[in-house]
Amino acid sequence: QPEDIATPKRTNEVLKKHGLKLKKSLGQNFLIDQNVLNKIVGAAELDATKGALEIGPGIGALTQQLAKRAGRVVAIEIDQRLLPILEETLAPFPNASVVHGDVLEVDLGALFAEHFAGVSGVSVVANLPYYITTPIIMKLLQQKLPLENIVVMIQKEVAERMAAKPGGKDYGSLSIAVQYYCDPELVTIVPHTVFIPQPNVDSAVIRLKVRREAPVRTDDEAFFFDVVQASFVQRRKTIYNNLAARYFSKETKEQLGEVLASCGIDPSRRAETLGMDEFAALADALRRHLA
């Protein structure tokens, strides 16, 4: 059995051996706690019939654990300097392969076809680079890849926003976007002390169970997301003011009152009080009105 990488001693040895200086600009905070790794891997519900896609393997701490559980592991890493290291640390795991590239540029559809054709389901499992957490999650969701779970370590505040229910300050367009595609569940909060180097913020592991069907029906998904985004442009303003600014002129904005009334939505409410079903009804009514 190869030695676990996620300890301070082993991680420092690997970094030293290869003379590697970690890059803050690439979000390189490496996990050095085996318990946290076990929680991440456990939440992904993997077995030998499943595939795992990792984003940002670093020196392979999580990749090794994934390769022990899943039938097939593919890890996308942007930093070329890590490739020879990964070759070494992943040598005992023939079911793991590394793709060099920027996850935001990689053609994930082609990657799935090439690497995951034989598996019964794929989950994304990663300790994400924090500078691009949201773009990565949105890319995974919008491409409607055949994913089962997305289990990721991210900044704690972002995890709270993804899982937020209506009514609080954390609830916004990110909550709705994520919850449209997934059922989110906070797995655990992680202190900044379990990384080398330590980030300035606390982290959380979140599991997004990808839904087979959206929880609400809308006539036009893109317009629904546009309405949600417009509604939160100025959080402290009413839904009426935000939507009037986006879709109406001074002369026509009275009609917005009728549209809101037709959905039973009080124009003085703020976006943060509206549930996803209300946004869906509102988007459809507004779309019909503007057509």
95 labelled as ligand-binding?
A: no
Residues contributing to the site for ligand SAM (CB under 6 A):
26-31, 55-58, 61-62, 76-79, 102-104, 127, 129, 132
**CA separation for the pair 138, 150 (Å, rounded):** 12
Our CB check for ligand SAM shows the closer of 128 and 243 to be 128
> For residues 99 and 214, which CB has a smaller minimum distance to ligand SAM in the complex?
99
Cβ-based nearer residue to ligand SAM, 60 or 172: 60
- Minimum CB distance to ligand SAM, residue 12 (Å): 13
Q: How far apart are CA 46 and CA 65, in angstroms?
A: 11
Question: Is the Cβ of residue 77 or residue 284 nearer to ligand SAM in the bound state?
Answer: 77
Closest distance to ligand SAM from the beta carbon of 197 (Å): 11
Q: Is 88 annotated as a binding residue?
A: no
At 106, list the tokens.
């990689």
| Residue labelled with tokens 């009804």 | 281
Q: Is residue 56 a known part of a binding site?
A: yes
Task: Write down the least CB distance from residue 32 to ligand SAM, Å.
Answer: 8
Nearest CA-CA partner of 5 in 63, 44, 56? 63
Smallest distance from ligand SAM to CB 132, Å: 6
- Kindly state the smallest distance separating residue 252's Cβ from ligand SAM, in Å: 43
Comparing every residue's Cβ against ligand SAM, the nearest one is 56
Is 75 or 216 the residue whose CB approaches ligand SAM more closely? 75
Listed residue (165, 120, 111) closest to 140, CA to CA: 111
Judge whether 29 is annotated as a binding position. Answer: yes
In angstroms, rounded to a whole number, what is the distance separating the alpha carbons of residues 39 and 189?
Answer: 11
Give the C-alpha separation, 20 to 14, whole Å.
8
Other beta carbons within 10 Å of 174: 18
Closer CB to ligand SAM, residue 27 or residue 172? 27
CA 226 to chain centre: 20
Of all helices (H) and strands (E), which one includes residue 205? strand 203-210
The least distance separating ligand SAM from the CB of residue 77, rounded to whole angstroms, comes to 5
Return d(Cα 23, Cα 160) in angstroms, integer.
26
Half-sphere CA count of 52, side-chain side, radius 13 A: 31
- Token readout for 96 is 């793991």
- Going by the annotation, the residues of the binding site are 29, 31, 56, 77, 102, 127
- Going by the annotation, the residues of the binding site for S-adenosyl-L-methionine are 29, 31, 56, 77, 102, 127
